[in-house]
C-alpha cells in the first residue's frame, strides 16, 4: 500500500527531480513531471513486482511522462534518429543542498554552468543516456530498460554523448583559458 510505496519508491524522489530538471531545464516543469510520474507510479504500484528494480521502473515512468508532455506541446519526438532530437529550454539549476566546501562552490559557480550548457546542447537521446548512466549511476542494463533499447545501443549513445560533451567542455576550457590551444 501507501507505506510500501513510500519506502520503496519515494527514496528515489531526489534522483527523479534531478533528472527531470536536466531534461526540462525548468524547475516548475521538472516538478510537474516528477509529480505526474509519482502519481502514475502510485496508481500503478500494484503492477510493480517486488524485488525488481524500482529505480529503473520509476525512471521509465518519468521518461514516458516527459515524452508525453513534449508530444502534447507539439514536439516531434517519434523519430529515433538521434540527429533529429534536439534539446530546448532554459538554464539548468539544481536545488540547494547542504553547505558546500569552497571547492564545491567553485565547481558550482564556475564549472557547473559550463557542464550544464554542454549537457543541454546534447541531442535528447544522448543527453538521456548520459544523465541516467553518468549522473544518476544507473547500469547500462538499467539505462536500456528505461530507454527501451538494447545495451549495445545504450553503449553507443553514451560513447557519442560523452564524445560530444568532451568536445564542448574542451571548447569552453580553451575559451576560458583553463587549457591552452595546441599548436
Q: Residue ranges of the domains in the chain?
A: 1-77, 101-183
Lowest mean pLDDT segment, chosen from 46-50, 112-116, 146-150: 112-116
d(CA 134, CA 36): 25
Choose between 165 and 100: higher pLDDT. 165
Global confidence as pTM? 0.64
C-beta neighbour count of 12 within 10 angstroms:
20
Lowest mean pLDDT segment, chosen from 2-16, 85-99, 110-124: 85-99
Provide the CATH number for the domain formed by 101-183 in this structure. Answer: 1.10.10.10
CA angle 13, 11, 87 (to 5 degrees): 30
pLDDT at residue 182, as a whole number: 65
Could you confirm whether domain 1-77 is CATH 3.50.50.60? no
Amino acid at each position: 500500500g501507501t507505506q510500501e510505496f513510500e519506502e520503496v519508491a519515494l527514496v528515489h524522489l531526489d534522483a527523479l527531480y534531478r533528472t527531470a530538471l536536466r531534461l526540462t531545464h525548468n524547475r516548475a516543469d521538472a516538478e510537474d513531471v516528477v509529480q505526474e510520474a509519482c502519481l502514475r507510479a502510485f496508481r500503478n504500484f500494484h503492477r510493480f513486482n517486488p524485488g525488481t528494480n524500482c529505480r529503473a521502473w520509476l525512471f521509465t515512468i518519468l521518461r514516458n511522462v516527459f515524452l508525453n508532455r513534449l508530444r502534447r506541446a507539439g514536439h516531434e519526438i517519434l523519430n529515433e534518429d538521434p540527429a533529429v532530437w534536439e534539446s530546448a529550454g532554459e538554464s539548468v539549476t539544481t536545488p540547494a543542498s547542504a553547505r558546500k566546501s569552497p571547492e564545491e562552490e567553485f565547481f558550482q559557480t564556475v564549472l557547473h554552468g559550463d557542464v550544464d550548457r554542454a549537457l543541454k546542447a546534447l541531442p535528447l537521446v544522448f543527453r538521456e543516456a548520459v544523465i541516467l548512466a553518468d549522473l544518476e549511476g544507473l547500469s547500462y542494463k538499467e539505462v536500456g530498460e528505461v530507454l527501451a533499447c538494447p545495451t549495445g545501443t545504450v553503449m553507443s549513445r553514451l560513447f557519442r554523448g560523452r564524445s560530444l560533451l568532451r568536445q564542448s567542455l574542451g571548447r569552453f576550457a580553451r575559451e576560458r583559458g583553463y587549457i591552452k590551444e595546441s599548436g
